[in-house]
Chain A
Amino acid sequence: MTGEAPAWALTPTQVAADIEIASRQRLFIGGRFVTPRSRRHRDVVAPATGMTLTRLTDASGADVDAAITAATAAQRGWTRSARLTPLLRLADRIERDPTLAILATRETGRPIRAATGVDTPLAARITRFNAGWADKLSHLVRGGNAPRSAGVVVVLVSGHAALLRVLWAVTPALAAGCPCVVKPSPHATLACLRLAEIARGADLPPGVLNVVTGGVKTGEALMTHAGARLIVISGRHATCRRACQGAAARTSPVVAEPRTPLTHVVFEDAALDQAVEAIVAGPEASPLASAGLGIRLLVQEPVREEVTARLLDRLRARRVGDPLDANTDIGPLPATHHAVAIDDMLESVRTAGGVVRTGGDPTVPRPDGGGHWCPPHLVTDVPAPDALAHAEAGGPFWFMDTFRTTAEATTLAGDARALAVWSDKSARLFAVTETLAATTVWANTLPQIDPAAAGMAGVRRFLR
Chain B
Amino acid sequence: MPVPPIDAALLRREAESYEARAVVEPARTRGLRLVLSLIDLTTLEGGDTTQYVRALCRWARAPGPGVGLPPVAAVCVYPVFVATARAALIGSPVRVASVAGAFPAGQSPIDVRAAEVAAAVSAGADEIDFVINRGVFLAGRRRQVREEIRVLCHAAGAATVKVILETGELGDADVIREACDLVLDAASSARGAMTDGAVFLKTSTGKIAIGATMPSTLVLIAAIRDHVRATGVRVGLKPAGGIRTPDQALAYLVMVRETLGESWLRPELLRFGASSLARSIVATITRSEVPS
Contacts and interface: CB of A to CB of B under 8 A. Distances in A.
Interface of A: 1-2, 4-11, 13, 113, 117, 269-274, 277-278, 281, 302-303, 306, 309, 313, 317, 326-327, 424, 444-446
Interface in B140-166: none
Given A8-B257, A10-B27, A274 B11 contact: yes
B13 A446 contact: yes
A176 B26 CA distance: 53
Interface stretch (B17-25, B45-53, B103-111, B202-210): B17-25
A445 B229 CA distance: 26
Contacts of B10: 271, 274, 277-278, 445-446
Contact of A317 (B30, B253, B258): B258
Contact of B263 (A1, A117, A269, A302): A1
Nearest to B225: A313
B265 A117 contact: no
Chain A interface helix/strand/loop/mixed? loop
Interface in B226-265: 229, 253-254, 257-259, 262-263, 265
A11 B20 contact: no
B14 A10 contact: no
Interface in B15-70: 17, 20-28, 30-31, 34
A6 B34 contact: yes
Contact of A8 (B7, B13, B34): B34
B266 A302 contact: no
Closest 4 CB pairs of A and B: A274-B10, A11-B27, A271-B7, A274-B7
B6 interface: yes
B26 A11 contact: yes
A418 to B, nearest CB: 18
Given A272-B4, A317-B259, A8 B24 contact: no
Contact of A273 (B222, B257, B263): B222
B37 to A, nearest CB: 8
Nearest to B258: A317
Given A10-B254, A317-B259, A271 B24 contact: no
Among A117, A273, A281, residue most surrounded by chain B Cβ atoms (within 10 Å): A273
A11 B265 contact: no
Contacts of B265: 5-6, 8
Contacts of B27: 8-11
Among A272, A309, A424, residue most surrounded by chain B Cβ atoms (within 10 Å): A272
B1 interface: yes
B229 A444 contact: no
A259 to B, nearest CB: 25
B5 interface: yes
A358 to B, nearest CB: 17
Which size class do B's interface residues fall under? 35 or more
A5 B254 contact: no
A302 B1 contact: yes
Contacts of A444: 7
A445 B9 CA distance: 9
Contact of B22 (A5, A9, A13, A317): A13
Given A269-B4, A327-B22, 14 more contacts: A5-B262, A8-B257, A9-B27, A10-B21, A10-B23, A11-B27, A273-B11, A273-B222, A274-B6, A306-B1, A309-B229, A317-B257, A327-B21, A424-B5
Contacts of A273: 4, 6, 11, 222
A60 B6 CA distance: 56
A188 to B, nearest CB: 25
A8 B262 contact: yes
A274 B215 CA distance: 12
Contacts of B23: 10-11
Contacts of A271: 4-7, 10
10 contacts: A5-B263, A10-B21, A10-B23, A11-B24, A270-B4, A273-B4, A273-B11, A281-B17, A313-B225, A313-B259
Contact of B30 (A8, A269, A326): A8
A435 to B, nearest CB: 24
A273 B259 CA distance: 11
A184 B265 CA distance: 47
Nearest to A271: B7
Contacts of A269: 4-5
A303 B14 CA distance: 21
A248 B23 CA distance: 56
Contacts of A4: 266
A7 B262 CA distance: 7
B175 to A, nearest CB: 14
Nearest to A273: B222
Contacts of A446: 10, 13
Nearest to B38: A6
Contacts of A277: 10, 13-14
Contacts of B254: 10
Contacts of B31: 8
Contacts of A270: 4-5
Contacts of A5: 262-263, 265-266
Contacts of A278: 10
A40 B4 CA distance: 59
Contacts of A306: 1, 4
Interface string B104-147: 00000000000000000000000000000000000000000000
Nearest to B229: A309
